[in-house]
A and B are shown apart, each in its own frame.
Chain A
Amino acid sequence: MDDLFRPETDWNGLPDVAVTAHRISSLVANVVLWAIIGGAVWLFTNPLALPTGIVAVVGVAWTLWRVVRAGRWIRSFRYSEREHDLLISHGLWFKNLTAIPYGRMLSVEVTTGPISRLWGLAEVQLITASHESNGTIPALTAADAAILRDRLIAVGEAQALPL
C-alpha cells in the first residue's frame, strides 16, 4: 500500500544534513524533557534510588529510539510541486498525504531555529486559511528554501483565488 502515499510524480526529499540536524534537535529536546522528569522524580522520592533509576532507563531508551526514528522520519518526508497543488507526504506508522492547492495559499514563511541554523537549514511553511493544513517542509538548505518560497509565491499569485 506504500504507493498510496507516493503517487507518480517528481518527489523531492530533504537534504541529508537534515537527518543530522533533526537527530540533534530531537536529542536536545528529549534530554531536556527527561532531565526535568528525572529531576522531579528524584526530588519527590529522594532516599529511594529505584524510581529515579527506572526513569533514567526509560528516558535513555526513549531518547535513543526517538533519535533513531528522527532519521527515518526525515528520510520518509517527500514533497512535490505539481501543476496546481503542493503535495506533502510523511509519516512512518501514521502516514499522511496532504494536497494544498496553490490558490488557497495565503503566505509562505521561512523560519530557522538555532540548531538548524548550524547546518544552514530553514523551514518552509505554506500558510492557508486553515490552521489544520500544516503545509510545513521542515528542513531545506537556506538557499533552496528561499527559492522554493519565491516559486510558491509566484505560482500562488498566478492561481490566486479569494478566500
Chain B
Amino acid sequence: MTDPVDDPDARGDEGRTPPFPEGEVPPVPADEVAPVPADQVPALAEDVPAATEKLTERPHPLTPLIRGWIVILALAFGLGRELLNSVTEDRPLPPIAFLVGGFGVVVLIAVVIGFLSWLTTRFVIDADELRLESGILLRRSQRVAFDKVASIDVLQPLAARIFGLAELEIDIGSASRTKLRYLSRARAYSLRDYLLSRAHGHQAEIGEVATSLIELSDLQQDDEVLLRLSPQRIVLGAVTSNEFIVLVATILVTIGVVAAAFAWLPPEFTGGDRRTGFLGVSVAVIAIAVSGLSGVVGFVTRRITGQFNFTLSRRPSGLRISRGLTSLTSQSVPPRRIQAVQLTQSVLWRRPGWYRVEIDVLGQHLRNEDDTRASTSSVLLPIAHLEEVRMVLAQLWPDADFTTVGLRPAPFRARWLHPITAPFLGFGHDEQLVVSRHGWLERRWQLVPHARVQSVRISQGPVSRRLGLANLAFHTAGSRLHARARGLDATHVRQWQAELIELAQAHRPDITVPVIRPGQSGEPSGTVPVGSAGTHADGPDAFRADQADDTISSTE
C-alpha cells in the first residue's frame, strides 16, 4: 500500500486516477491528489475548476418519494396496529387531528430529508471519470477508477419497479458497495453497459437502451434463451425438495413429541386433571401446527417469488440468470471464474430424475438460496432434468461431460466407517473433470475441472488407517463447495493423486465459453473453445489479456 502522494506515478499523471488501495474509499476526489493547493479545494465539487463544464447528473426526481414510501409504509403499519389495540381494549382514541398531524409531520420530515439528499446527490459518469457526490451535512465525494470496478448490479425493488426505476450498485471490491439510486431503468442499463465496457478497458460511448416499462425478464436482442422454468415446475420443485421434507418432518415430529408428552406424563406434570390436560395438548398442537404452517407457506412463497420465471440465457459475455416475481434479479455467470459445480438430488427427485445445480464462483461470496434481495445466488439451475443439466454445463465447459466419467464405488469395507453413505460413494476422473459422489437422502455430485484444481491432499485418520481407506480433497479457489472424495481404497489413492496433479498441471484454464465480440455474435460459441485443453497455441500473454476480460462480472 503506497501513499498516493508519495507515488511518483500518481503525481505525473494528472488526468488519470491513481490506483487507490483496495478496501479504502479515498476521502477526497482523487484528482485532488494532483498538485492542487489545499486551500483551493472547495467544499462542493461543482466548484472544482475542472468539473465546471462537466455534466453532472442527479438521480431520478422520484427518488425521495420512493425512499419516503418505506417510511410511510412503516408508519402506517405501526399506527394501524396502535389504533386496533385502542379499539379492542376500549381505550379512548387520541384526537384524530393529533394523529393525522403527527403522521403528516413525520412524513414531511422524511420527504424533506429525502428531497435534500436527492438535491445534494450528484454523479458524473463520462469518458474521464466516475464520481459521486452525496451527503447533506457531511459531504462525500467518491471517485472510482474505471478499471477497479469489479461488478455492477442493477436492482429493482418493488416500489422502484412500479415507477420503472432501478438502483445501480457498483462493487469496487471494498467493504461497502457504492449505491446510486434511483435511476430510470433505461439509464441504469446503459450506464451499466458503459461502465462494464470501460472496466474491460475499452473506450465506449454511453449508449441508449430501450426498455419497456414493466419487464419480467431482462433480455437483450443477442440473448439466446437456454432454459426457462415454468411456475408449476418451481412449485413442484419446492414441495419435493429436501428442505421442504425436513421442514414438514420437523413439524410433525415436534407435534408428536408434545402430544406424547401430554398423553403419558402424569397429570401433575401437565397441570390439573385430564380434561385441562387434553385442552392443553390441543392448544399446544394447534399453536405448533399454525406456526409450522406459516413457516411452510413462507418457504414455498419465497421459492416462488425468488425463482419465478427463472430464465437462463446466453450472452456474448457468458451466461445470465434472470428471475423473480416481486423484484427482478439478474445475475451474470462468468464461466472462467466458476471453480466447481455441485449437483444435488433430493429423495423425491430420484424417480423423475431432477437435479439442482449450484456453482462456486471465485471471489463471490454467494448467498445461498432464493432470497429475493440477493443479487447473486449460488444456484445455477433450481430444478432441471439430466439432459438440461448436460446442455447447460456444456455451455460452461464444452469439452467436459460428467455423465461419461466412470465412477469407482467405495470398497465394501468403507461401510464400517461410512455406514449409511458408503453404497453411494464414488470417485472418478477423465481428461477434463474430477467427479465425486456422496450423500444418502440428498445425493450430491461434485464436479471440478482439472483446470481449477490448485492442490490435492490425501488424508487418513486412525480408523481409516485400520481399514485401509483414505480421503482425497481437491482444493479450488472457491469458498463454498469443498470438493472431496471419501472412503477410497488406500492402495490406489496415491496413484490417483499423481494423476490428478499431472492433469492439473497439463490444463490451462480454457474449458469455458469464449468471449464473442459483438461483431461475431450468433456463432454457437459453446462448441468452439478458445483453444482446446492442453494445446498451447496462444502465447501466454494473449491468454492473460483474454482472461482479464472475464475477471469482471456484472450482475443485475
Contact = CB atoms under 8 A, between A and B. Distances in A.
Interface string A137-163: 000000000000000000000011111
A162 B510 CA distance: 10
Given A85-B501, A101-B504, A93 B477 contact: no
Given A101-B501, A103-B505, A1 B468 contact: yes
Interface size band for B: 35 or more
B479 interface: yes
Given A4-B494, A130-B477, A162-B547, A96 B461 contact: no
Contact of A100 (B362, B454, B478): B454
B509 A133 contact: no
A148 B319 CA distance: 43
A4 B455 contact: no
A98 B456 contact: yes
Nearest to A126: B455
B220 interface: no
Interface string A85-107: 10000010111111111011000
A17 to B, nearest CB: 28
Contacts of B459: 91, 94-97
Interface in A118-147: 128-133, 135
Contacts of A99: 455-457, 497-498, 501
Interface string B433-471: 000000000000000000001111111111001001010
Interface residues of A, number: 30
A11 interface: no
A162 B543 contact: yes
Dominant secondary structure of chain B at its interface with chain A:
mixed
Interface in B270-320: none
Contact of B476 (A93, A130, A161): A130
B362 A129 contact: yes
Nearest to A161: B508
A133 B461 contact: no
A162 B455 contact: no
Given A4-B490, A101-B505, A161-B508, A133 B462 contact: no
B540 interface: yes
Contacts of B413: none
B544 interface: yes
A104 B497 contact: no
A42 interface: no
Contacts of B508: 161-162
A98 B505 contact: no
B493 interface: yes
A7 interface: yes
A84 interface: yes
Contacts of B473: 132
Given A84-B501, A163-B477, A4 B456 contact: no
20 contacts: A1-B490, A4-B458, A93-B461, A96-B457, A96-B459, A98-B456, A98-B458, A101-B501, A103-B504, A104-B504, A128-B475, A129-B454, A129-B477, A130-B476, A130-B477, A132-B455, A132-B473, A135-B455, A161-B509, A163-B477
Top 3 nearest A-B pairs (CB, nearest first) are A129-B477, A130-B454, A130-B475
